[in-house]
Each structure stands twice: as C-alpha cells, then as structure tokens.
Structure 1
Amino acid sequence: MLSRALDDGLNCIHFHKVKQEELCILLRGYHTPEELYALLHYVVGYSAHFKDFVYEYYKGICNVQDFASLANMSVRSFQRKFKAEFKRPAHEWLQERRAERVLHDLRNTNKTFAEIATDHGFSASSYLITFCKRYFGQTPMNLRTHSEAFSPDFSRRSNASSPRRRSEKPSETSANAKNLPKRRAASRTKASENR
C-alpha cells in the first residue's frame, strides 16, 4: 500500500507522519515494552547496559532490594538510576510487570492458582488473591472467567490509580461523609430524650 501511494504521488510530509503514527500504534498494540526495547534500543540510544540488565533479570525478581543487590548497587543508587532510565519508580514498574505476567497466566494458561502464585513469587495462593484484588479489583477466578470484560491499561497508571488499600474505599468514605450530619443530629436527639 505504501509503495502504491508513493507511486501515485502521495510523497508529502503529512502522509509520512500518518504512516509513522500508524506504525507506532501497531507496534504498541501487538508488542510488549520489552519486545519494543529489544527491537529499537539501538535507535533510541539510552543507557543500554542498565536497561538490558533490567529486562534480562526482572522476571525472576520480586522486589527492589533483590534487584539492587543483583546489580551490586545500593538500593538508593539503584532507585535513582532506574527512575532516570525508566522515568518511574522501580517498585511501581516491577509491580506492573508482575501484574501483566499474572494476568497473562490467568487468561492464557490452564495453570492452577497455586502454580501461578509460585511462578510469580507469592508464598501462597492467598497472597495471589490479595494481589489481584488490590491491583485489579477482582479475584483471580473473576479475571480468568471474565477475561474479555476486563482490560487494564498499565501504561497510563499513575499514583492516583495505584492499587487501593482496604481502608481506601471511596464509596464507603463518601457515604459516611454524607451521613455524618444526620448521625450527629440523631445522636443529639437521643441525648436530649435521655435527659
């Protein structure tokens, strides 16, 4: 199609820009960040040694301390270097990669939850369940059975959309805040009746 368009005289900068954007969309849609890095790291020109190291070993590592130790760096130095290269904190990046791999195994394999938990560094299936509830808001069983209904966007996660803790339930918090004046009024009424 591109050669036909060029033969027809569509050799303008706008056409090339659209095709370049189309290529980027297709690459991002069909390849993981690791695959894209392996394909393009010579063109991009970042510190290849550190990134190569991270992409080579991250699957076997569950926390930043182990990663720093493997790199023969202090934790603080590793975190600084990681943030400079990847533009995000190491812990957050590792958790997202772990979540991607867990989700992939839940959707695309017949492994038991215990096998998936072991493969991804959880000491028990219950920790896998807790991880999925915190990270995806669903149990592993729901993620496996309703895989087409849930599609996380790891590339756009921010601190605001990071996994919620049990104490951070917005529906309960906002409901309690709305009912607070009513509860106060009710307790005053009860107190005055008891006098």
Structure 2
Amino acid sequence: MIDKLRGMQFIDSPCYHISRQYELYIAFRSEYSEEQMAQFFSSILRARDDFRAFVKNNYRYGDTLEKVAQKANMSTNHFLRKFKEHFGMTAHRWMVKQKAEKLVKAIQAGETNAKLLADRFGFHSTAGLYLFCRRQVGMTFQQLTRHVADGQSITI
C-alpha cells in the first residue's frame, strides 16, 4: 500500500480528500454488505460519528442549522431529512423542546428570576420568556414556577 501511495501524484484541490473518501466508500460498497460494513466500522467509529450523538453534542452552541449541517459534512436538506428520520420531528421542533426542557430544569434547580432566565435562554425580554412558556409548556411563567415549587411534574 505504501509503495502505491508513493507513486501517486496528488491533485492540488481543497476537495480532493472528499473525492477520495467517496471512491473508497464505493469500493467498500461493491465488495461488502451493509451488515459487514457496519461490523467493520463500528469498532473504529467515535461517538461524534453517530448522528444522534453528533446532534446532541453540537446543537447547543447556537449555530444555525446550516452550520451544524456543514460540521456534519452534509447539505442542509440532507441533514434535515436525516434529522427527521432519527428524531421523529423537525429540527426546529426538537430544538424548541430541548430549550423548554432546560428551562424547566433551571426552574427546578431554583432559578426563578424571569429576567435572568430570559437572558440565559436567549429571549430579548421577559415578555418573550412568558410567551415561550405559554406556547411550549402550556402555562404561564408564574404557573410554571408554582407547579415546580409544589413538586408537580411538568411534561413537555
């Protein structure tokens, strides 16, 4: 293999490695079944190579969906299709649900200052936080804090 690589002339292109990856993938696909490939690659794939783990580790950085798709080396449309396939909902709906769950956890942890929570979760004002609570949690911010203080469970 080393001898073959020494004799190769590399193309000076920023996308050359991507075309080589596709070429290798096609060669593998022509020789092995999906099950064989899964067995072979499962031992060398890292957590970031798993789509669900990748999304969970990268969505929180405030990147746009386009940037997250780019990090995953996918087109935005392919990323959104794959997202729906893996999570069963649109990326936007999933991200809103994550935000609502984190908000409830913050309130359960004792954070009840609306202004601080609005800033922490990226709302422009407390009015945005109140509207978010009503739409996504199904109750006002005050009702939510009372429910949590009373120890009642919140489903999102």
- The reply to whether TM is greater than 0.5 is yes
Residue of structure 1 in register with 2:85 after alignment: 84
Residue of structure 2 in register with 1:55 after alignment: 56
Question: Which residues of structure 1 form unaligned runs of 5+?
Answer: 1-41, 155-195
Q: Which amino acid aligns with 2:115?
A: A
Residue of 54, 66, 69 corresponding to 1:71: 69
Residue of 141, 150, 153 corresponding to 1:151: 153
Deviations 1:74-114 (A, max 9, x none): 43222101112222221111111111001111221235211
* In structure 1, distance between residues paired with 2:59 and 2:110: 21
Q: TM-score, structure 2 length as denominator?
A: 0.57
Shift, 1:52, TM fit: 2.2
Percent sequence identity is 28
Which protein is richer in helix relative to its size? 1
Shift, 1:71, TM fit: 2.7
Question: Which residues of structure 2 form unaligned runs of 5+?
Answer: 1-42
8 A contact 2:69–2:76 mirrored in 1: no
Aligned length: 107
* In structure 2, distance between residues paired with 1:136 and 1:143: 8
Q: What is the aligned-residue RMSD (CA, Å)?
A: 2.6
Report SS of the residue matched to 2:153.
coil
Counterparts of residues 106-125 of structure 1 (less than 5 Å): 106-125=107-126
The structure with the larger Rg is 1
* In structure 2, distance between residues paired with 1:109 and 1:48: 36
Deviations 1:88-143 (A, max 9, x none): 22111111111100111122123521111121121211101000011222221221
8 A contact 1:133–1:139 mirrored in 2: yes
Q: TM-score, structure 1 length as denominator?
A: 0.47
* In structure 1, distance between residues paired with 2:120 and 2:61: 9
Shift, 1:151, TM fit: 2.7
* In structure 1, distance between residues paired with 2:61 and 2:124: 14
Residue of structure 2 in register with 1:97 after alignment: 98
